[in-house]
Chains A and B, each alone.
Chain A
Amino acid sequence: MSQTAFEVHDMTVAYHRRPVLWDIDLEIPEGKLVGIVGPNGAGKTTLIKAALGLVQLASGKVEIYGKSYEEQRHLIGYVPQRESVDWDFPVTVRDVVLMGTYGRLGWFRRPGKAELEIADRSLQHVGMGAFAKRQIRQLSGGQQQRVFLARALAQEAQIYFLDEPFAGVDAATESAIVELLEELRTSGKTVLVVHHDLQTVSDYFDYVILLNMRLIACGPVEETFTNENLQKTYGGRLTILDEAAEAIRRSKPLQ
């Protein structure tokens, strides 16, 4: 059995005294592609932000390879939601990707030749090599997402947290991301992805976290991504239930 890459114990997170995540307990083994699934407002983004220390925990703890994230930051790669930044900011694509190397560089040191090489390699990896000198405003949504992925690759992390990388991207970017996820898994990385499309969960991921303010279930997709668990996750929302049923129906032949 491989070691545990990411674990959460009794974690509660509250915004303005209103809890958004209750008593979360989960363990993710190394080398898995993990989908984080749940309705809007279920706390998916909050789970990621809590894992990265971006929001305060009301209680509980988060561990990356057995230690707190403060000690393990160098192992973490992060892709925030695309809309969280100003895409009119005066930087080039390469500047953004270089930011991935800042954590390793530490105070005052400027990115040098080695960092430039990492940045360019990361850009090529996501098929954006030709865009290095472009101003980020000129990018399409899918291209923006790829730039963010390249920045995370430049972090050369062991465990990646991706917040809705598939939101609003074109089909080509979606398949490029899936390919990238699989490459990361092959090289032993662990990737947690906030995901909205129930239809593709069983195709893209081998582990799933079902979340609705509480942890509904966490485990391998074939055992965990069941109709029953989805009903618990999505409650009485009919349209989503239909979607869930469809997702289950689709995933059956795979098992």
Chain B
Amino acid sequence: MISLSLSDKVMIGTALLGGMSGVVGSFAVLRGRALVGDMLAHAALPGVCLAFLITGNRHLLGLSLGALASGLAAIAAVTVILRWTRTKEDAAIGIVLSTFFGAGVVLLSVVQKPSTGGNKAGLHAYLFGEPGGMLNSDVLLLAGVAVVVLAMVALFYKEFLVVCFDTDFAQSQGWPTLWLDLAMMAALAVVTIVGLPIVGVILMAAMIILPAATARFWTNRLSVMLLVSCGFGAAAGVLGTRLGRGYPAGAAIVLTASFLFLVSLLFAPQKGLVARLLVEYRLRRRIADEHLLRTLYELSEPQLPESPVIPLESVREYRHWNSLERVLERARDEELIEWGEEQVQLTPLGVHRAAQLTKAHRLWELYLMDYANIAPDHVDRDADDVEHMLPEALLVKLEEELAAEGRLPAVLAEVPESPHELSPET
């Protein structure tokens, strides 16, 4: 059945649709309008059926105009409900979406009665999507819409950006925010509607939301997000039609998009789940390691520079530990401690490292208590950085204060810094 040229057509068509869905979807998702796309898609169904009943054929253009008309009616209905009742936006969208969709299903059954005749099966594509029926003219229409939408975004990038981020500010600069907003909505509506016969009214929202939400994991710049989202959308279209042969194509495209989302959610750098868990795990491990060294330092402090043997019991009592043994193992592997038989001792390297840590920590405490309001920009930094980020004069002052309180780790100067000199004789 499927000739090569048709499969090429389908691939080009779905790629175009995916790409432009990704772009307009990015703006919709960032503006919190993801559900508007869903509503538009569902609300298009009665319009499609009515257009078919009126025109008697299923040219994409006629059906799309019908879809557009009922989509606009749905937006108007939501606006009226919001303006005149106390219904919240999500509820209003839900009401309108399901009402229009219900009406659409009823109309569809009317269209499919034998008495109305004609291409009954054709309209079913609008429910679940069927790119296999794509005509040359359909591909041309998709390409035309894609060019217009992409040109619009390229042309108005700066204007869309400022309106999306801060509408009031944009308006104070004199931008016609209402019209720019409507332009974004119109692009969303048009893309949704031309996508309906390919993906279907039920799944079209996924094409709007998924590529944009996926792209958000990979970047912090809107310009990059638009490109990445466009790419993900196109890839979902191509891969979905390729891999999903023999299955409903719309569903296959959406599932591919979902898969890309899932992979990004798990493995994207920085924002992916795995990366975030890893960062958290490392942080916790480091904090535990530092706690151990500071605890040991503070327990050893009275006898320093002699490094005393400390019973593990007192380490356990000193603070709460989640897995003291593992922390001790790591410290031993780094040759910071000697550990055995329920007791533990800092090596000279350990004393040095622990003294550094304790000093930084105490300076930091003091700084936060007395001076933090001078430089709150720095509060989110690590305590370790304290010596690099504070002005020399302040550091000296802090050290003097610590020394006056008798809490300045004094051994630093006496402990050799190089690890090579220390090993055996401890």
A interface, CB within 8 angstroms of B = 49, 52-54, 70, 73, 76, 78, 80, 84-86, 89-92, 95-96, 99, 102-103, 105, 107-111, 127, 135, 137, 140, 142-143, 151, 155, 170-173
Contact = CB atoms under 8 A, between A and B. Distances in A.
A90 B172 contact: no
A171 B376 CA distance: 8
14 contacts: A53-B171, A85-B165, A90-B30, A91-B165, A95-B222, A96-B165, A99-B161, A102-B159, A108-B155, A111-B158, A135-B220, A172-B374, A172-B375, A172-B377
Q: Which of B30, B169, B216, B377 counts the most chain A CB atoms within 10 A? A: B169
B174 A73 contact: yes
A99 B172 contact: no
Contacts of A103: 173-174
A8 to B, nearest CB: 16
Contact of B166 (A53, A99, A170): A99
A137 B380 CA distance: 13
A70 B174 contact: yes
Given A54-B171, A102-B162, A110-B158, A142 B30 contact: no
A85 B167 CA distance: 9
A103 B176 CA distance: 12
B225 interface: yes
Contacts of A171: 373, 376
A73 B221 contact: no
Interface in B148-176: 155-159, 161-162, 164-166, 168-175
Contacts of A95: 161, 221-222
Contacts of A53: 171-172
A99 B225 contact: no
A80 B165 CA distance: 12
Interface string B213-256: 00010011110010000000000000000000000000000000
Given A52-B172, A172-B373, 8 more contacts: A49-B168, A54-B171, A84-B166, A90-B220, A103-B173, A107-B159, A172-B374, A172-B376
B377 A143 contact: yes
Q: Which of B168, B172, B225 has the most CB of A within 10 A?
A: B172
B241 to A, nearest CB: 30
B373 A102 contact: no
A171 B371 CA distance: 11
Interface residues of B, number: 32
Contact of B220 (A92, A107, A110): A92
Given A90-B225, A91-B221, A140-B380, A84 B373 contact: no
Contacts of A127: 377
B216 A90 contact: yes
Contact of B173 (A73, A96, A110): A73
A99 B158 CA distance: 8
Contacts of A111: 158
Interface in B170-218: 170-175, 216
Main secondary structure of the interface of B (DSSP, over half): helix
Interface in B345-381: 373-377, 379-380
B221 A92 contact: yes
Contacts of A110: 157-158
Contacts of B161: 91, 95, 99
B168 to A, nearest CB: 5
Contacts of B376: 140, 142, 170-173
Contacts of A137: 220
Nearest to B164: A89
Contacts of B156: 108
Contact of B158 (A80, A89, A105): A105
A254 to B, nearest CB: 23
A70 B174 CA distance: 7
Contacts of A86: 30, 165
Interface hub of B166, B222, B225, B380 (most chain A Cβ within 10 A)? B166
Nearest to A85: B166
Nearest to A96: B165
A54 B40 CA distance: 29
A80 B380 contact: no
Contacts of B158: 102, 105, 108-111
B172 A76 contact: yes
Contact of B168 (A80, A140, A172): A80
A80 B168 CA distance: 8
A90 B380 contact: no
Contact of A78 (B172, B222, B225, B379): B172
A107 B162 CA distance: 12
Contacts of A143: 377
Nearest to A76: B172
A73 B172 contact: yes
Nearest to A142: B376
A122 to B, nearest CB: 15
A140 B372 CA distance: 14
A107 B183 CA distance: 15
Contacts of B375: 172
Nearest to A170: B376
A170 B375 CA distance: 9
Contacts of B173: 73, 78, 102-103, 155
A90 B377 contact: no
B168 A84 contact: yes
Contacts of A85: 165-166
